[in-house]
């Protein structure tokens, strides 16, 4: 079955440690995204990538980093510089992206990160 996988589902870290969240898709989608969701809030875009080896900052990129070395993989690193990293992180993909496109986003199951 095609889809997006994120691992792990739950992640616990101590403050000051970097942590990398995995996102893999086998949908052959060009575009991939990382969102952060806080309780009772909408989705806020962290980073997105339209093509391999290229990515752009979203609205809340500070304290995060990404890489896109393979089409199917888009890992997110939450660095120690992120002041409030505890949140639910969602990865998504779409066939491609562009203004006015009709390409929906497919979301992974998410990773709930807790930093203490």
Partner 1 sequence: QQPVQSPQAVILREGEDAVINCSSSKALYSVHWYRQKHGEAPVFLMILLKGGEQKGHEKISASFNEKKQQSSLYLTASQLSYSGTYFCGTDAKDSSYKLIFGSGTRLLVRP
What residue ranges bind partner 1 (CB under 8 A)?
A: 35, 40-45, 48, 56, 58-59, 90, 97-102, 104-110
Closer residue to partner 1 in complex, CB, 18/98: 98
- DSSP tag of 69: S
- DSSP tag of 73: B
Tokens of 70: 């393979």
Shortest distance, position 3 Cβ to partner 1, whole Å? 10
Closer residue to partner 1 in complex, CB, 11/45: 45
CA–CA gap between residue 25 and residue 70 (Å, rounded): 10
Shortest distance, position 25 Cβ to partner 1, whole Å? 13
Shortest distance, position 51 Cβ to partner 1, whole Å? 13
- DSSP tag of 17: -
Closer residue to partner 1 in complex, CB, 15/104: 104
Q: Coil, strand or helix: which one is 91?
A: strand
Q: Which residue has the tokens 């992120």?
A: 82
């Amino acid at each position: 079955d095609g889809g997006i996988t994120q691992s792990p589902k739950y992640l616990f870290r101590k403050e000051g440690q970097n942590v990398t969240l995995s996102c893999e898709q086998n949908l052959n989608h060009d575009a991939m995204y990382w969102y952060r969701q806080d309780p009772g809030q909408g989705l806020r875009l962290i980073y997105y990538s339209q093509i391999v080896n290229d990515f752009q900052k979203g609205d809340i990129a500070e304290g995060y980093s990404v890489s896109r070395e393979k089409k199917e993989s888009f890992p997110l690193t939450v660095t120690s510089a992120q002041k409030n990293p505890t949140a639910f992180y969602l990865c998504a993909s779409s066939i491609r992206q562009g203004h006015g496109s009709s390409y929906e986003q497919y979301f992974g199951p998410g990773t709930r990160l807790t930093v203490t």
